[in-house]
A and B are shown apart, each in its own frame.
Chain A
Amino acid sequence: MVENRPWLTVFSHVVLCLGVLVTALPIWIAFVASTHPADSMLSGRTPLLPGGHMIENYATVLGSGVRAAGSIPVGTMLWNSFVMALMIAVGKIAISIIAAYAIVYFRFPLRRTCFWVIFITLMLPVEVRILPTFGVVASLGMLNSYWGLSVPLIASATATFLFRQFFLTVPEELAEAARIDGAGPFKFFRDILLPLSRTNIAALFVILFIFGWNQYLWPLLVTTDEGYYTIVMGIQRMLQAEDAEPAWHEIMATSMLAMLPPVLVVVFMQRLFVKGLIEQEK
């Protein structure tokens, strides 16, 4: 649609610019704060230009951690978050793609029931079932472990549903041609379906990685060992420093670091991500 209404153009640009400002300003302030010494954030006037302590602040959080929050190096927490997010994303994709394959391509008793049961679990997010889940994880002895952090979050109705929808769009003749070509169920899955789902998997990976990275409540519950703290819950602990002013400069530096991996994942997988959302190779 080509329209020539100059005021509409100006108006929509103003709205867009405001939107960008609202989103970007907090990030900018966080970045600026992470480059100032401790006292400039507490002076009552928020600086808007970067200061000179950037390297020092980042070195502190990465190396020795924030002293008031137990001095856990941010590097450790980043690594924990990364492992957890990766395990959740990979696990979710692996389980849901297999589940969807079974539901779409195999006739077995109660197939529809299985699908609807999976679908209904959409209504039960972690927060709702958190106590029983905690009980199960605790009695399995998975507290304070990567398994405990990730396994309870792996089952995914959303991903199963997305893969099911994608598989339904794959022409039936492809499966039949593969059967005639002598490909059994496993070969068909590996040689045909998996490569065709590549872009979908990539898109889902990005979304699920960020989902995993941003987990807050669950890690807070299952980890008491500092060695398994994740970055998102770590930031929260820094704010609760007792008998001290929050070390804003270091907290902000940690926040900046926490934001980095999801951004990198999006940037590097952007091409595949967009492709997976809009087009389907068929």
Chain B
Amino acid sequence: MAGLEFIGVRKTYPNGVQAIHGIDMAVADGEFVVIVGPSGCGKSTLLRMVAGLETVTEGEIRIGENRVNELEPADRNIAMVFQNYALYPHMSVFDNMAYGLRNRRTPRDEIARRVAEAAGTLQLEGLLDRRPGQLSGGQRQRVAMGRAIVREPEAFLFDEPLSNLDAKLRVQMRLEIKRLQRALGTTSLYVTHDQVEAMTLADRLIVMNAGVAEQVGRPLEIYDAPATLFVAGFIGSPAMNFLPGTVADDGSGANLDGVDRTLLVAPPASAGRGRIMVGIRPEHLEPVSREEAAMEVVVELVEALGADSLVHGLLADGGEGAAVTVRLDGARRVAAGEVLSLAVAPNHVHFFDPDDGKRLA
């Protein structure tokens, strides 16, 4: 087993499109790293570069101690799980798992042993003679995992492996993947656009946007202190509320556009005295009495989820009426048109520079 290292990795497609703008990072041995980002941010490209399915334009990728840029996928000692599983439709489950081993001239009894072992771990024992077409989505997913496990690779690469499953199965498989990775202790790189998957699976998270790693860190670190406006908006569901404003003259708070009173949370000194972007997560707004409120919101729409309700509204005194989302306890009944007085948890207010989007600290 081994770690993984990216050194100044860049990717430019022959048509001139630059997909990766320079990634530098190291993945420790046995670590589970999730790359998350919107479609087209380059996360899959990065993974495919590790797999050897895309060439590296510049920089170096190392698996363990070895530079792998020039190696064929089969020689990199990795295993990949594809979004559509990419199982060989005409082969049995057993052959699907054994194919890679046979190509590497693994002895027959060794193949049988490894496949049986993987099938045991993944509860596929009774299905080894079936074809992929005769399996359910979850079972196919497990076969794809099995095909990766039997290789006993240095690293697992997952390319959105759960996005073809229904919601319930996705939660279940998510846990299974996590459990499996813990048990095997294999370094894993996992690409997804689903931030719940990202938060729950990752030891460490890479948030990517437009070919750049915007932030790398533990999931909760990123949630608590997003480094940029993009990360703040991308991690956390529903997304963080962004309210533009101006730093108060004495620096003790911020005057939000469309709010009469000053938000009494002091921005960091680096903010200066100019414009500022204030970020507040929906779960850090709390209904209080009018007097204590930091802002008032006219309720437009309520999404009752049971455990909690998502309230979408507009700032009450606002000229342009910035939209605000609030997460309330599900027991609380709110109707459209109602005015909510909200207080802000002072430790959970984020300040960003509106020009470059960087976090102010």
Q: Which of A142-196 contact B (CB under 8 A)?
A: 171, 173-174, 176-183, 187, 191-192, 195-196
Contact string against B for A residues 80-123, beta-carbon threshold 8 Å, 1 for contact and 0 otherwise = 00000000000000000000000000000000000000000000
**Residues of B with C-beta under 8 A to A281:** 89-90, 133
Q: Are B133 and A173 in contact, CB atoms less than 8 angstroms apart?
A: no
- Cα distance A173–B89 in the bound complex, in angstroms: 12
- Cα distance A183–B84 in the bound complex, in angstroms: 19
Rounded to whole Å, the gap between the CB of A211 and the closest CB of chain B is 28
Decide yes or no: A180 and B78 within 8 Å by CB, A187-B103, A191-B99, A281-B133 being known contacts. Answer: yes
Contact string against A for B residues 226-267, beta-carbon threshold 8 Å, 1 for contact and 0 otherwise = 000000000000000000000000000000000000000000
B104's partner among A173, A176, A182 (CB-CB below 8 A) is: A182
Q: Which of B93-144 contact A (CB under 8 A)?
A: 99-100, 103-104, 133
Q: Are B82 and A177 in contact, CB atoms less than 8 angstroms apart?
A: yes
Q: Are B89 and A176 in contact, CB atoms less than 8 angstroms apart?
A: no
Q: Does A282 contact B (CB under 8 A)?
A: yes
Closest to B53 in A: A176
Q: Are B84 and A180 in contact, CB atoms less than 8 angstroms apart?
A: no
Q: Are B100 and A176 in contact, CB atoms less than 8 angstroms apart?
A: no
Rounded to whole Å, the gap between the CB of B225 and the closest CB of chain A is 37
- Cα distance A187–B73 in the bound complex, in angstroms: 15
Q: Does B88 contact A (CB under 8 A)?
A: yes
**Residues of A with C-beta under 8 A to B88:** 174, 177-178, 191-192
Q: Does B1 contact A (CB under 8 A)?
A: no
Decide yes or no: A173 and B103 within 8 Å by CB, A179-B53, A179-B74, A281-B133 being known contacts. Answer: no
Q: Which of B64-78 contact A (CB under 8 A)?
A: 72-74, 78
Closest to B159 in A: A173
**Residues of A with C-beta under 8 A to B103:** 181-183, 187
Closest to A174 in B: B86
Q: Does B41 contact A (CB under 8 A)?
A: no
**Residues of B with C-beta under 8 A to A182:** 74, 100, 103-104
Decide yes or no: A180 and B74 within 8 Å by CB, A191-B99, A281-B133 being known contacts. Answer: yes
Q: Which of B45-93 contact A (CB under 8 A)?
A: 51-53, 72-74, 78-80, 82-84, 86-90
Contact string against B for A residues 191-203, beta-carbon threshold 8 Å, 1 for contact and 0 otherwise = 1100110100000
B73's partner among A180, A191, A192 (CB-CB below 8 A) is: A180
Rounded to whole Å, the gap between the CB of A279 and the closest CB of chain B is 11
Chain A interface helix/strand/loop/mixed: helix
Instruction: Report the number of A-B residue pairs with Cβ-Cβ less than 8 Å.
Output: 61
**Residues of B with C-beta under 8 A to A195:** 90
Q: Are A181 and B74 in contact, CB atoms less than 8 angstroms apart?
A: yes
**Residues of B with C-beta under 8 A to A187:** 103
**Residues of B with C-beta under 8 A to A196:** 89-90
Rounded to whole Å, the gap between the CB of A192 and the closest CB of chain B is 6
Q: Which of A130-147 contact B (CB under 8 A)?
A: none
Rounded to whole Å, the gap between the CB of A188 and the closest CB of chain B is 10
- Cα distance A89–B90 in the bound complex, in angstroms: 24
**Residues of B with C-beta under 8 A to A176:** 51, 53, 73, 80, 82, 86
Decide yes or no: A181 and B72 within 8 Å by CB, A176-B82, A195-B90 being known contacts. Answer: no
Decide yes or no: A183 and B86 within 8 Å by CB, A176-B53, A177-B80, A281-B133 being known contacts. Answer: no
Closest to A183 in B: B103
Closest to B87 in A: A177
Rounded to whole Å, the gap between the CB of A245 and the closest CB of chain B is 58
Closest to B85 in A: A173
Q: Are A282 and B86 in contact, CB atoms less than 8 angstroms apart?
A: no
Rounded to whole Å, the gap between the CB of B77 and the closest CB of chain A is 10
- Cα distance A195–B131 in the bound complex, in angstroms: 14
Rounded to whole Å, the gap between the CB of B27 and the closest CB of chain A is 19
28 A-B residue pairings within 8 Å (CB atoms): A171-B86, A173-B84, A174-B88, A176-B53, A176-B82, A177-B80, A177-B82, A178-B99, A179-B72, A179-B74, A180-B73, A180-B74, A180-B78, A180-B80, A180-B100, A181-B74, A181-B99, A181-B100, A182-B103, A182-B104, A183-B103, A191-B88, A192-B88, A195-B90, A196-B89, A198-B90, A281-B90, A281-B133
- 20 A-B pairs besides A176-B82, A182-B103, A192-B88 with CB distance below 8 A are A171-B86, A173-B83, A176-B80, A177-B87, A178-B88, A179-B52, A179-B74, A180-B51, A181-B99, A181-B103, A181-B147, A182-B74, A182-B104, A187-B103, A195-B90, A196-B89, A196-B90, A198-B90, A281-B90, A282-B89
Q: Show the binding face of A for B, using Cβ within 8 Å.
A: 171, 173-174, 176-183, 187, 191-192, 195-196, 198, 281-282
Nearest first, the 8 A-B pairs at minimum CB distance are A181-B100, A182-B74, A173-B86, A182-B103, A177-B86, A195-B90, A173-B82, A180-B73
